[in-house]
Amino acid sequence: MTYSKPPVVRFFNAPALAPTPGYSHGAEVRGGRTVYLSGQIAVDAQGQTVGEGDFTARARQVFENLKLALAAVDLSFDAVVKLTFFLTDFAYLPQMRAVRDEYVNTAAPPASSAVQVAALVRPELLLEVEAVAAAP
């Protein structure tokens, strides 16, 4: 399939809403194609959980997995327009944001949501992240 025009993405913050800490209120996408990535967890290529006792290592593995999923469709984090974070404890939010900022464009961050959940698919997991990307 051939795409003639890349998408136009405009990240925005609504002036009537409170300022955001490191994310945009929304992302408007026109043209191109949309790619939805399933939630990624802190497992390696063999399916083994990584970073026991180290939330930052786990978060980094999650973002590396997202990076690999994006690469599978010839994209990078530059194409990500929305991230959704599922955390078992909001106490991890500052660490998660620090790792996120290593991967996204902090000058035009993607729209984001964070949700605290009771548990994830495996009991040892602390974080899951899903993404939406806009691509040519």
pLDDT at 3: 52
Rounded distance between C-alpha atoms, residue 133 and residue 35, angstroms: 5
Label the pairing between strands 127-135 and 80-87: antiparallel
Q: What is the pLDDT along the chain (136 residues), one digit of tens a residue?
A: 455 567 888 889 899 888 888 888 888 888 888 999 999 999 999 999 999 999 999 999 999 999 999 999 999 999 999 999 999 999 999 999 999 999 999 999 999 999 999 999 999 999 999 999 998 7
pLDDT at 5: 67
List the domains of the chain with CATH numbers. Answer: 8-135 (3.30.1330.40)
3-state secondary structure (DSSP) of residue 112: strand
pLDDT at 84: 98
Question: What residue has token string 């548990």?
Answer: 119
Helix or strand run (H / E) with residue 67: helix 55-71
3-state secondary structure (DSSP) of residue 29: strand
pLDDT at 4: 56
pLDDT at 136: 78
